[in-house]
Amino acid sequence: MPVPAPDTPALPTFADVKRAAGRIAGTAHRTPVLTSRTADAMSGARLFFKAENLQRGGAFKFRGAYNAISALPEEVRRRGVIAFSSGNHAQAIALASRLLGVPAVIVMPEDAPQVKVEATRGYGAEVVSYDRYSQDREVLGREIAQARGLTLIPPYDHPDVIAGQGTLALELIEETGPLDMLVACLGGGGQLAGCALAASELSPGIAIYGVEPEAGDDGRRSFHEGRVVTIPVPRTIADGAQTTYLGALTFPIIRERVTDIVTVSDDELVETMRFFAARMKLVAEPTGCLAAAAVLHGKLDVAGKRVGIVISGGNVDIASFAHLVSPAA
């Protein structure tokens, strides 16, 4: 469980999101906002999908990674950075580091999707493997950081990472205008917290929801119990949401600005992957389907509303994707 230290940084603000937008402009993709008449008919709402599966590195994580590294002093960058991640943050840090000329070490679980491991190495980062069920990635990451003099950039509980993720909601609302609802994916809370900072400022009165896998409902429990709840590593196909607790920075933002948190099953994630592939010609990974699955499977009352939905990533092994979306799967 995260315990705020005396030097815990201040919570990021909407001003930080705007500064992040300036840092990543021209480097991160301004991803398209997609619509589907079929999805609208299924939900009874007007849905706007922010396609972060088409972001550099294949996921929204590039926003926060690039913002965090580019904000570091030059002498700190030269020493290098380290991150721990199941895949998308790993790829994002590796790619951002390559673009900025920064050495990078990534701590990744042994069972991370091979496509994500290969992409991380392909961007030039050193990969250190660990067993997610018996080893603590944060402890390992901090040990390596201390031993090598690297700067640790965690996947979600970092003010510049949170602010960077919030730029996706800023872009979404700039394009669509005010929304009634925003639905985001939830793992450790970086995306949801960042989006909440932006959406609550740009679209006053908006209802903001987070969605996590049923097997990993620490966020929902934390939200309703008013404290950070820690769970064992959840077993779910949503590998990007196999987090065990919300962060010391993400939790208070979510508690203050988010309306509620709901969950979806792995089967509902697979059905949503099929929908995106068949109807919208999109490849989305299971974690990337969390928000859409909640809307398309009736977990939220969206009828008659204008709803923004984050498709958070598309990094999925093609063989696994084919198996999952096959009707026989």
Q: Which tens digits make up the pLDDT trace of 125-140? A: 999 999 888 888 889 9
Name the active-site residue from 201, 217, 218, 268.
218
Name the active-site residue from 16, 43, 52, 61.
61
Name the active-site residue from 70, 85, 97, 312.
312
CA atoms within 13 A on the CB side of 172: 35
116 annotated active-site = no
85 annotated active-site = no
Q: Are 300 and 324 in contact (CB under 8 A)?
A: no
Residues 197 and 237 reside in one and the same domain: yes
In a domain, 281, yes or no: yes
pLDDT tens track for 8-46: 789 999 999 999 999 999 999 999 999 999 999 999 999
36 annotated active-site = no
Which residue, among 204, 171, 154, has the nearest Cα to 48 in the 3D structure? Answer: 171
Residues 245 and 307 reside in one and the same domain: yes
Q: Are 238 and 216 in contact (CB under 8 A)?
A: yes
Q: Give the pair of three-digit tokens for residue 230.
A: 């820690």
Residues 167 and 30 reside in one and the same domain: yes
d(Cα 72, Cα 81) in Å, to the nearest integer?
A: 10
Give the least confident one: 21-25, 85-89, 262-266, 312-316.
Answer: 85-89
Report pLDDT for 117: 85
Residues 170 and 240 reside in one and the same domain: yes
Report pLDDT for 150: 97
In a domain, 78, yes or no: yes
In a domain, 18, yes or no: yes
φ, ψ at 18 (rounded to 5°) = -65, -40
Based on the structure, what is the number of domains in the chain?
A: 2
pLDDT tens track for 276-307: 999 999 999 999 999 999 999 999 999 999 99
- Does the global pTM surpass 0.85? yes
In a domain, 7, yes or no: no
Q: Are 168 and 52 in contact (CB under 8 A)?
A: yes
Residues 132 and 181 reside in one and the same domain: no
218 annotated active-site = yes
Give the least confident one: 47-56, 80-89, 153-162, 292-301.
Answer: 80-89
Residues 189 and 290 reside in one and the same domain: yes
Residues 77 and 29 reside in one and the same domain: no
Give the least confident one: 23-37, 126-140, 236-250, 260-274.
Answer: 126-140
314 annotated active-site = no
What DSSP letter does each residue of 145-201 carry, written as one string? HHHHTPEE--SSSSHHHHHHHHHHHHHHHHHH-S-SEEEEE-SSSHHHHHHHHHHHH
- Tell me the torsion sign for CA atoms 325, 278, 208, 44: negative
Residues 215 and 190 reside in one and the same domain: yes
Return the SS3 of 29. coil
In a domain, 2, yes or no: no
Residues 108 and 36 reside in one and the same domain: no
* Boundary-marking domain end, from 102, 129, 152: 152
Residues 100 and 23 reside in one and the same domain: no
| CATH label of the domain that carries residue 110 | 3.40.50.1100
216 annotated active-site = yes
Return the SS3 of 21. helix
Beta strands in 52-117 (DSSP E): 81-84, 104-109
Q: Are 59 and 94 in contact (CB under 8 A)?
A: no
- Tell me what the mean pLDDT of segment 177-185 comes to: 98
Name the active-site residue from 216, 240, 288, 308.
216
Model confidence at 2: pLDDT above 80: no
Residues 51 and 184 reside in one and the same domain: yes
Task: Give residue 91's domain range.
Answer: 62-152
Residues 267 and 277 reside in one and the same domain: yes
pLDDT band at 119 (very low <50, low <70, confident <90, very high): confident
In a domain, 81, yes or no: yes
* Boundary-marking domain end, from 152, 184, 215: 152
Whole-angstrom CA distances from 62 to 28, 97, 112, 272, 318 are: 7, 10, 18, 23, 21
Model confidence at 263: pLDDT above 70: yes
In a domain, 238, yes or no: yes
In a domain, 6, yes or no: no
Which residue, among 118, 133, 171, 155, has the nearest Cα to 315 in the 3D structure? Answer: 118
State the DSSP code for 73: -
State the DSSP code for 313: B
* Boundary-marking domain end, from 152, 184, 210: 152
pLDDT tens track for 46-65: 999 999 999 999 999 999 99
